[in-house]
Amino acid sequence: MGLPIGPFVGETQSPNEQSIHDIIHCNVLSTAMMTHIVLPKMLSQKGSNPGIINIGTYAANKELPYSSMYAGRRGREFIHQFSKCISAEKYSRNLIVQTICPLVVSTKLSYYKSTSFFVPTAQVFAKSALDMFGVQQQTTGYMRHEFKGFLYTLMPTSLWVKFLQICFVPSMKESTKSE
């Protein structure tokens, strides 16, 4: 599901009850259900080093005005904690469970269609993320995202929110008007 943009409540473009349900169902429930489906077969295969990669978002790490459903739907807390617990339960089976929480990647669904130093194509990002498999339990999947994420953690919340309101919110809103 694409990036829903707008105030969470109180305005006409706010998400309705069904869209809230759909977003959570699509992103949170699917993580648990896919793991439930594939894990038994993965663990039954002889000689393999099974691994699961769950996708979250860096947006869940900090406040993201006008994108509360996006940030919440791939809740880092749920996906990362779920991944850590599955890994701990299956520790003796050498199961690697990794959570990837990227920043912006240029895809057909993202509001950033063009690439830049910090915005890779989906193919570049996927290769980088797979190269980082097993390196650490949670990662952004892309070294430039790691660097940018580190810089973001240094910003106080008030400065971060102001930064987003000035730099990103206008372009995100403009992008949704043109679709």
pLDDT digits (tens, 9 = 90+) for 53-64: 998 888 777 777
Domain locations in the chain? 17-177
pLDDT attached to residue 14? 66
H helices present in 74-116, as ranges: 76-89
* 79 vs 111, residue with greater confidence: 79
Contact 101, 40 (CB under 8 A): no
* 99 vs 24, residue with greater confidence: 99
How many angstroms separate the CA atoms of 104 and 96, rounded? 25
Which DSSP helix (H) or strand (E) runs through 100? strand 96-100
Torsion of CA 104, 76, 168, 68, to 10 degrees: 140
pLDDT attached to residue 178? 53
Phi and psi at residue 14, to the nearest 5°:
-65, 150
pLDDT above 70 for 179? no
The residue with tokens 């759909």 is 22
pLDDT attached to residue 172? 59
pLDDT digits (tens, 9 = 90+) for 123-168: 999 999 999 998 999 999 999 999 999 998 999 999 988 888 887 7
Confidence bin at 97 (pLDDT 50/70/90): very high
pLDDT above 60 for 94? yes
Confidence bin at 170 (pLDDT 50/70/90): low
Which token pair is 174? 């403009």
- Model's pTM, two decimal places? 0.79
pLDDT attached to residue 165? 82
| CATH 3.40.50.2300, domain 17-177, yes or no | no
